[in-house]
A and B are shown apart, each in its own frame.
Chain A
Amino acid sequence: MALGESFAGVLKAARVGAEWAWRALYADTAPDLLRYARASRAPDPEDVVGETFLRAVRGVGSFERDERGFRAWLFTLARNRIVDEHRKLVRRRTDPLPVEVLVEIGPHADAETEAMRALAEDRIRSVLDRLTPDQRDVLLLRILGGLTIEEVATVVRKKQGAVKALQARGIAAIRDKSELGAVTL
């Protein structure tokens, strides 16, 4: 964790609306939240990150845990948001975006890098899609979120034993149904 000992002071300053504190918290957590949202197939991953922090702003006044707890709390908020977005996506129809908007929000790196990354992402997704949603959630929170078993249990609202079982079954499913070498870049 980047903040470490200074987390308590940062949190105290964030409660009174200090901009530097929120910048520090955002820089520490937002990238991992964005990766988790992308891997979870959130319709708008960046919107998930923004909404997560806005909810954190409203709840930080009553937050009384350490930095690990703060991180787990943000992932909980993000996961709830993703679940809500998926539910809304089922209910509402999608409107296609204009080409100009797609070009503007599209990839900005070179084509080769983007192609390789897209290929790797597709391979990983093909492996993750073989898992159940709970198994996938547990593995992504552990790999991308860097959360412990206890923290994942808090995020997904399950017991630690259940999280361990989901993790083991997820790994076994990947081992049984996929050739890991084919996924490797």
Chain B
Amino acid sequence: MSGSIGPDDGFERLLAGETPKTPEEQALGLFLEDVRGAFQAEPSLAEEAHLAAIVQAAQLLADKGEPAVRSASKAEGRARHASGLPKRRRVIMKVPLMRSLAAKVVAGLVVLMSMFGGLALAGALPGQGADDDATDVVEIQDVSDEAPETEAPETEAPETEDADDQGENADDQGENEANDDQGENEDADDQGDDDQGENEDADDQGENVNDDQGENVNDDQGENEDADDQGDNDQGEQD
């Protein structure tokens, strides 16, 4: 048949059972009839066996209760389980902190501490004003009656602190002495480094070191070097 199949609208009308209007729809309608005729709805030989198995399975699952009835396929997406456990678990995960008794107690303590702390800063606590008066009286008594005794601890405390500081300073001084020594050594090293950068100075240092070694260890070495130098000079002179 040479007729072409019409657009989707014609296909939808034919599927709805309407009669074809155009030759194109007629051709398409014949094709649909052929498909339906080729695969007819015949009575299934296994119908009773299917129904027996279906009913048995359905009654078995119904006897087990609702939690056992779950989605057998993910075709419709992940189905929610019939049992209530996953939902409860989700709720717990949403508010995990407030589920424990300890968390509630801690939260209450935090609220109380913040509240009384604010009151204490504002000086609004009941006994806070009396304490201030008492301290004022004590301060007045200290000044008038026992000024030396009260001053002594006050002065002793800074003295001890100063003494500690001095001790620390002494230690620091001792450390500084050691550091000074090290500093000297470092200076010497620095000089050595600087001198190494300059060849002429390095030569000078070598001379200085050799001088020191000569003084500390063997004067003969210095003399030998001098002798070598003299020898070189002599050779040069001979050349």
Instruction: Give residues 1-56 of B contacting A (CB, 8 Å).
Output: 1-5, 7-8, 11, 15, 27-28, 30-47, 49-51, 53-55
**Interface assignment of B235: CB less than 8 Å from any CB of chain A:** no
Within the assembled complex, what's the spacing in Å between the Cα atoms of A15 and B33? 37
**Interface assignment of B58: CB less than 8 Å from any CB of chain A:** yes
Q: Please state if B37 and A120 are interface contacts (CB–CB under 8 Å).
A: yes
Q: Which of B43, B55, B70, B75 contacts A17 (CB 8 A)?
A: B55
**Interface assignment of B149: CB less than 8 Å from any CB of chain A:** no
Q: Please state if A58 and B57 are interface contacts (CB–CB under 8 Å).
A: yes
Chain A binder among B59-67, B105-113, B130-138? B59-67
Q: Please state if A143 and B73 are interface contacts (CB–CB under 8 Å).
A: no
Nearest residue (CB) in A for B59 is A17
Rounded to whole Å, the gap between the CB of B18 and the closest CB of chain A is 15
Interface residues on B, range: 35 or more
**Interface assignment of B145: CB less than 8 Å from any CB of chain A:** no
**Which residues from A are CB-within-8-Å of B7?**
168
Q: Which of A32, A54, A185 contacts B54 (CB 8 A)?
A: A54
Within the assembled complex, what's the spacing in Å between the Cα atoms of A73 and B77? 11
Interface residues on A, range: 35 or more
Nearest residue (CB) in B for A175 is B5
Q: Please state if B50 and A17 are interface contacts (CB–CB under 8 Å).
A: no
Rounded to whole Å, the gap between the CB of A50 and the closest CB of chain B is 4
**Which residues from A are CB-within-8-Å of B47?**
26, 30
**Interface assignment of A55: CB less than 8 Å from any CB of chain B:** yes
Within the assembled complex, what's the spacing in Å between the Cα atoms of A76 and B73? 9
Nearest residue (CB) in B for A109 is B42
**Which residues from B are CB-within-8-Å of A155?**
75
**Interface assignment of A85: CB less than 8 Å from any CB of chain B:** no
Within the assembled complex, what's the spacing in Å between the Cα atoms of A59 and B50? 17
Nearest residue (CB) in A for B26 is A180
Q: Please state if B28 and A58 are interface contacts (CB–CB under 8 Å).
A: no
Within the assembled complex, what's the spacing in Å between the Cα atoms of A134 and B75? 17
Q: Which of A34, A36, A143 contacts B15 (CB 8 A)?
A: A143
Within the assembled complex, what's the spacing in Å between the Cα atoms of A18 and B63? 12
Q: Please state if B69 and A50 are interface contacts (CB–CB under 8 Å).
A: no
With A144-B39, A175-B5 already in contact, 9 other A-B pairs whose C-beta atoms are closer than 8 Å: A49-B44, A61-B61, A61-B69, A61-B82, A124-B39, A146-B15, A167-B8, A175-B4, A180-B1
